[in-house]
Amino acid sequence: MKQPIPLDTVFAALADPTRRQILTMLLEDDMAVTDVADPFEMSLAAISKHLVVLSRAGLIVQEKRGRVTWCKLDPGAMKDASIWMQGFGQFEPVDLDAFETFLETELSLDADAE
């Protein structure tokens, strides 16, 4: 049985914007490491380090196909993080439309008072 990845490892991997962008890219499809690196202005070695962090966190899987290393999203590691975050769901979600209406009303009252 696969050992669960500690939440600290998952959240540390998700803390970096480059790694989050890589995960977003991999939502579309599996990608070769070189294709993952293309949109970034950093070396292939730097991207490889990000991919190692994502792999250790269980967020991606890398596999060699011929001479090319491919990256595949593995959302299973996010399951425990998601469950943990849902524990904070007891807070009422903000109704942004109602908030906007409230602000418009308050701002028009302030303008009328001047």
Place of tokens 């050992």: 3
Q: What is the per-residue pLDDT for 91? A: 58
Q: What is the per-residue pLDDT for 33? A: 96
Query: How far apart are alpha carbons 60 and 70 in whole angstroms?
Result: 10
**Residue boundaries of the structural domains of the chain:** 7-82
Q: What is the per-residue pLDDT for 6? A: 86
* Cα 88 off chain centre by: 18
Whole-structure pTM value: 0.73
Token pair in block for residue 104:
């418009």
Question: What CATH number has the domain spanning 7-82?
Answer: 1.10.10.10
Mean pLDDT throughout 52-75?
94
* Cβ atoms of residues 73 and 29 within 8 Å: no
pLDDT digits (tens, 9 = 90+) for 4-45: 778 899 999 999 999 999 999 999 899 999 999 999 999 999
6 against 103, higher pLDDT: 6
Query: How far apart are alpha carbons 75 and 101 in whole angstroms?
Result: 38
Mean pLDDT throughout 70-98?
78
59 against 75, higher pLDDT: 59
